[in-house]
Amino acid sequence: MELIRTVTLLARWLEEYGPGDYRQLAPPAGREAIDTVTEGKFPLHPDVRAWLALHDGSACERPSPAGAFVPLDYALLDTARMRQGLRDMEEEVARAVSEGDEEYVVGTMADVCWVPVAANHTGGLLVVDHRDGPGHGAVLEVDPSIGLEGVRRWDSLSHLFDSVLDALVHSRPLLSGSGVPAVPRVHATGPVPPHVVWSRTTAEGPPVPVMR
């Protein structure tokens, strides 16, 4: 499976250049834990299952700036936090429906078929879309702090990891959800071991190179 190969290569890169992130990669989740993510409401996407079977998230030690190697500074959730994130989505949808606000919430800020897979410190989420249709399996970004309402970032979780690996290996920027390039670098000062951080850049400022 392509995702397994990509994550294996990504882990090798992190082990060498971003050991702070590497040590945050959790051991594999058990099959029973993976099965509980959606609590039987719908089948969990194969990419999500494959990722969890390799690593149960990327935040073994919380809070820590390490482990957030997905732009912009997203740490991948474990099975328990995915399950709770889906429950939170369901509660938000139910609230919106009861208050007549579903057109402003459902499918934009929350959905009962969105499985959160990553979170950042500003309250942003990356979710894998489990709705039927051409967007099934896509990774969307939701971040009320910057007005992102279910913006499609990657075609799949496999595509996400492939893009991150390519950006790290070749020092290439990725577009953030707001359309601004995000440039990776390895932060190697302070008490935390070297780890990846992403910096927004504009035409007025040069990209920050990856330090190797």
Q: Does residue 210 contact residue 165 with C-beta atoms inside 8 Å? A: no
DSSP character for 111?
-
- Give pTM, 2 decimals: 0.91
More confident of the two residues 90 and 123:
90
Provide the angle, in degrees to the nearest 10, between the axes of the packed helices 157-170 and 2-17.
40
More confident of the two residues 48 and 207:
48
Q: At the topology level of CATH, where does 2-170 sit?
A: SMI1/KNR4-like (3.40.1580)
How do residues 83-115 score in pLDDT, each as one tens digit? 999 999 999 999 999 999 988 899 999 999 999
Confidence of residue 207 (pLDDT cuts 50, 70, 90): very low
Q: How far is CA 150 from CA 107, 126, 142, 161, in A?
A: 7, 9, 5, 19
- 3-state DSSP assignment of residue 71: coil
How do residues 146-172 score in pLDDT, each as one tens digit? 888 899 999 999 999 999 999 999 989
Domain boundaries, the chain: 2-170
Q: How far is CA 116 from CA 73, 75, 138, 167, 183, in A?
A: 15, 11, 12, 23, 24
Residue whose C-alpha is closest to residue 201's, from 182, 176, 185, 186: 182
Confidence of residue 58 (pLDDT cuts 50, 70, 90): very high
Region 132-136: mean pLDDT is 95
DSSP character for 124?
-
